[in-house]
Structure 1
Amino acid sequence: MTNTFALIGAAGYIAPRHMKAIKETGNHLIAALDPNDSVGIIDSYFPQARFFTEFERFDRHIDKLRRRGDRIDFVSICSPNYLHDAHCRFALRSDAHAICEKPLVLNPWNIDGLREIESQTGRKIYSILQLRLHPSIIALKEKIAANPNKIFDVDLSYITSRGKWYHVSWKGADDKSGGIATNIGVHFYDMLSFIFGPLQKNQMHIRTGERAAGYLEFKQARVRWFLSVDQSDLPEQVKGKQPTYRSITVDGDEIEFSGGFTDLHTDSYKHILEGGGFDLDDAQTSIELVSTIRNLKITPHLGERHPFADKHL
C-alpha cells in the first residue's frame, strides 16, 4: 500500500533523511513546508511535490486535500524542536499520523496534551528513536539482559563540531532547542534507558552553550557522559581528520555503531509502516531525563566525572 506524506521543515539538516526514507519505502511526498526556500534537495527525491514557504498556505492545501477525500496519511516533522508539539497537533487535526524527529517535545507535560489529541482524533504520533533499531544496540541490549544482576560501567562521548552559526540559529537558544543535551543527546539518553533500565540517579557537572557533562545511574549501568559542539573538544587522534567523534564504551569495550547510522531513518519508517514504531510512552523517559538535565543544579564535584570534562572544571 502506498502512503502519502507531507513534510514540515524541508530545508533542515535532517529533512533529506526523511525524504530518502519516504522514497525508499515506496511512498510519495505530496507537499512540503519551510520558511527557507533553499530546498533544492527535494528534486533528488520528489520534484513534483508542492512546496510552501508560508504555513497558512500549506495548511490550506492540506485541508483542501482532506476535504476532497485525498487526505495525507502521514506528516513528517523536521521543524525546530520547540515547534514539534504544535506541528504534531496540526498533523492529527489534519486526520494524519505524525512522524516526529527527536526530541518529540521539550517538556514532559506536553506529552499529556498529545495523548489527549491522539485519543480525540484516533491518529498516532511516532517518535524517531532510531538507535533502538541499530543492530549493535540490539545486540548490546540482549547482552545486558542476559546479565540481569550486573552493573556495567559506561562512558558516552559525543562531539559534533559546529561553527559560530550554531549559536545564532534556533539551536543556540535553550528555549527553542532545549540546550545541548536535548538537541544532540536525547536519542543517546533514550538508548541508555532502553538498554540499561530505569534511571536512578542524575548529576550535572557542566552545562554551557557549547558542552554538557554529567553522571547517570540506571538499573544496570553507571554512566559518565560528555557532549559538545566545540571542535576543540575533539580527541587528539581525530583532530583535523574528522569533525565528529562518537564513542560508547561498556566495561572498557568500544561499542561500534557508526556503520549504518544514516540508514536508520529508513529502518524507522519501515518499522512504522509495518505496524510498529515508537509511541508517546516510548519517548517519555528520554524527554523527562533531558528536562531534568536542563534544570538540574550543577554539582561539578559530585559523582564520577567523564575524563573530557576535567579540563573545563
Structure 2
Amino acid sequence: MENSDGRKKFAIAGVAGYIAPRHLGAIHALGHELTTAHDLSDSVGIMDRYFPGADFTTDWSSFERQLRRGAADYLTVCTPNHMHLPHTLAGLAAGAHVICEKPLGLTPGEIDRMIEAERSSGRNVRTILQLRLHPEIVRLKQAVAEGPADRVYDIELTYVTPRGRWYAASWKGDTARSGGVATNIGVHFYDMLLWIFGPVVQSRVHYAAADCIAGFLQLERARVRYFLSINSRHLPHTEGGECRPTAN
C-alpha cells in the first residue's frame, strides 16, 4: 500500500542499466519513494543520488519476496527485453502495477499473456511512450489530424545510430534476447508512426541483418519505407567532422 502521506512506493528491476537513472530521477522528482531494487550487477551507486535508503539485492528470489510482501505499489521493469514478460508477470502477481520499458514483449503471444495477467490481477501494465511527448511530434500529429481526412502520406524513415563492438557481445546483439534492431531500436519509431497515422494494414521486411533492417509499413494513413541501422558505415559522409553515435 502507498505511504500515509500519499507517496507511492516503487521498486525497480534492472536498476544498474542504462535507462534506470531516468526512472530514479522521475520517481524522486514526483516526490515518491523507491523502496527496493534489483539487478544482477551491483554497480548501482547511482541510487545514492536519489534513494540512499532503498534496499538492493542481486538475488531475484529475495526481490520477488519483497514484492509479494507489499514492498511496492509500482514495479518499474528496466531489464533486457527478453526478461520483460517474466518480470512484468511477477509484478502483477505480487499485486503491483507495472511500468515496463519498450518493447513490452518480443512476440504477440507475450503481449497476450500480459493482457491476461492484467485482467486476472486487477493491476495495470504501462510502457514508456516518450516520442509522443516531443513538441515536434505533437505538432505533426495535429497537422495530420487537421489535414484532409482521406490523405495517405508517403514517408521515408532512415535512422542510423552507430554502436561499438560491445553491442554484438551484449544481450542487445542477441536477437533471441533483444528481438534485433527492429525491436530494440525501431520500436520507438513504430509507436510514433502508428500514433500519428493509424494502425498497420500491411508489413513487409525487405532485408534484415544483425546490424540493420529495411522494410515497408502500410498504415491507415501512410506508406512508410524505413531503414534502421547501428552500422557506422551506413552514415552519410559529412564535411568537417564525424557523426557521433547516441547511446541506447
Alignment TM-score > 0.5, same fold: yes
Alpha carbon RMSD of aligned pairs, Å? 1.7
Using CA pairs under 8 Å that are at least 6 residues apart, name the structure with larger relative contact order, 1 or 2: 1
Over residues 153-209 of structure 1, what are the superposed CA-to-partner deviations in whole Å (9 max), with x where a residue is unaligned? Answer: 212122222111111111111111001100011121011111011222322222000
Whole-Å separation in 1 of the counterparts to 2:201 and 2:68 = 46
Q: For residue 115 of structure 1, what is the aligned residue in structure 2?
A: 115
Corresponding position of 2:47: 42
Unmatched tracts of structure 2, length 5 or more: 1-5
SS in 2 for 1:40: coil
Work out whether 1:17 is the aligned partner of 2:22. yes
Correspondence 1:77-92 to 2 at 5 A: 77-92=77-92
Mapped partners of 1:230, 1:50: distance in 2: 39
Give me the whole-angstrom Cα distance separating, in 2, the residues matched to 1:168 and 1:242.
21
Q: 2:56 aligns with which of 51, 58, 69?
A: 51
On the 8 A contact 2:11/2:74 being kept in 1, the answer is: yes
| Structure 2 CA distance for aligned equivalents of residues 80 and 235 of structure 1 | 30
Could you tell me how far apart the structure 1 residues matched to 2:157 and 2:25 are? 29
Matched to 2:8, the amino acid is N
Q: Distance in 1 between matches of 2:109 and 2:159?
A: 28
Give the Cα–Cα distance (whole angstroms) in 1 for the partners of residues 63 and 27 of structure 2. Answer: 19
Alpha-carbon shift at residue 61 of structure 1 (Å): 2.6
Identify unmatched segments of 5+ residues in structure 1: 246-313
Q: Distance in 1 between matches of 2:102 and 2:137?
A: 18
Check whether the contact 2:9–2:33 (CA below 8 A) recurs between aligned residues: yes
Q: How does 1:265-276 map to 2 (within 5 A)?
A: none
- Aligned equivalents of 2:117, 2:151: Cα separation in 1: 41
Q: Find the aligned partners of 2:142 and 2:40 in 1 and give their Cα distance.
A: 44
Q: C-alpha distance in 1, partners of 2:47/2:158?
A: 33
Q: CA separation in 1, counterparts of 2:224 and 2:111?
A: 26
Letter in 2 for 1:13: Y
Q: 1:232 to 1:29 in 2, by over 3 A?
A: same
1:210-246 deviation digits (Å, cap 9, x = unpaired): 111112221221212111111222222386242149x
TM superposition shift of 1:135:
2.2
Residue matched to 1:199 = 200
Distance in structure 2 (CA, Å) of the matches to 1:59 and 1:151: 48
Which of 21, 31, 51 pairs up with 1:26?
A: 31
Q: Is contact 2:14-2:38 (8 Å) kept?
A: yes
| Paired residues for 1:291-310 under 5 Å | none
Q: Which amino acid in the other structure matches residue 115 of structure 2?
A: R
Deviations 1:118-177 (A, max 9, x none): 122111111112212222212111111122121212121222221111111111111110
Query: Take 1:46 and 1:124, find their aligned partners in 2: how far apart are those partners?
Result: 25
Residue 96 of structure 2 corresponds to 96
Runs of at least 4 residues off by over 3 Å: none
Asked if the contact 1:9–1:77 (Cα under 8 Å) also holds between the matched residues in 2, the reply is yes
Deviation of 1:95 (Å): 0.9
CA distance in structure 2 between the aligned counterparts of 1:162 and 1:143, rounded to whole angstroms: 34
Indicate the SS of the match to 2:192: helix
Following superposition, the deviation at residue 48 of structure 1 comes to 1.4
Aligned to 1:76: 76
Q: Aligned residue for 2:3?
A: none
Greater alpha carbon shift after TM alignment, 95-104 vs 163-172: 163-172
* C-alpha separation in 1, matches of 2:235 and 2:47: 33
> 1:90, 1:178 → 2: CA distance?
21
In the aligned structure 2, how far is the partner of 1:237 from the partner of 1:215? 27
Give me the whole-angstrom Cα distance separating, in 2, the residues matched to 1:243 and 1:190: 22
Residue identity opposite 2:39 in structure 1: D
Alpha-carbon distance in structure 2 between the residues aligned to 1:94 and 1:61: 9
Contact between 1:159 and 1:244, CA under 8 Å: does it hold in 2? Answer: no
Tell me, in whole angstroms, the C-alpha distance in 1 between the residues paired with 2:34 and 2:175.
32
Across the two proteins, how many residue pairs are aligned to each other?
A: 240
